Amino acid sequence: LVVQEIFGVHEHIKDVCRRLAKAGYLAVAPELYARQGDPSKYTDIPKLMSEIVAKVPDAQVMADLDAAAAWAAGNGGDGGDLAITGFCWGGRIVWMYAAHNPKLKSGVAWYGPVARAYHPGDKTALDVAASIKQPILGLYGAADGGIPNDTVEKMRAALKAAGNNASEIVLYPDTPHAFHADYRPSYRKEAAEDGWKRLLAWFKANGVS
């Protein structure tokens, strides 16, 4: 499962699916905002956040990801080897989905906020950390203005406190948010390429290959 940024399933997310397909995976990126609107029509980020993103509840996203996983299992995928990766908004969803679906084998969260939710009433990744039993790799930038380093450290500590010693969080020095997004100025080639290598190795090491 590949989970979009706030901007929806655009070319970059499709390209991530293609990269995973080339590595031998059946990769699916469901349009998780389909009921609320089309994020590609927005150029104003605050408006996008208030008019679409804030109206997408986690419960809907979890159900849609379950449905996408079931579809993949019925269309050539191995239902027993379910993994997830996501970016920004989708990086947060990786943590949330791990807590939601005990059948998930592994995940890689790219710069997903751990101390905030987007839909009123939803929990944060820190709130559900104790329920995450799978090995999840978190990839974060130490110079991310929207995700304070101390919240990342709190997530690391919360996982450890819950006995999840299989998960790992990498904090890249002097690296901004969205460092994997090669269509944005925030792209950092070295961190992006290192993160991708780590993703492929992580899935393989945790039985998803």
Catalytic (active-site) positions: 88, 144, 177
Whether 39 contacts 6, CB under 8 Å: yes
Burial class (CB in 10 A: 0-12, 13-18, 19+), 38: exposed
Residues paired with residue 57 on neighbouring β-strands, in sequence order: none
Sign of CA dihedral 128, 130, 133, 135: positive
HSE (side-chain half, CA atoms, 13 Å) at 78: 10
Alpha-carbon distance of 61 to 166, in angstroms, equals 25
The answer to whether 124 and 37 are in contact (CB under 8 A) is: no
Start-to-end Cα distance in the chain: 14
Residue 138, SS3? strand
Cα–Cα distances (Å) from 13 to 35, 62, 130, 149, 150, in that order, read 19, 19, 29, 26, 28
Question: What residue type is assigned to position 150 of the chain?
Answer: D
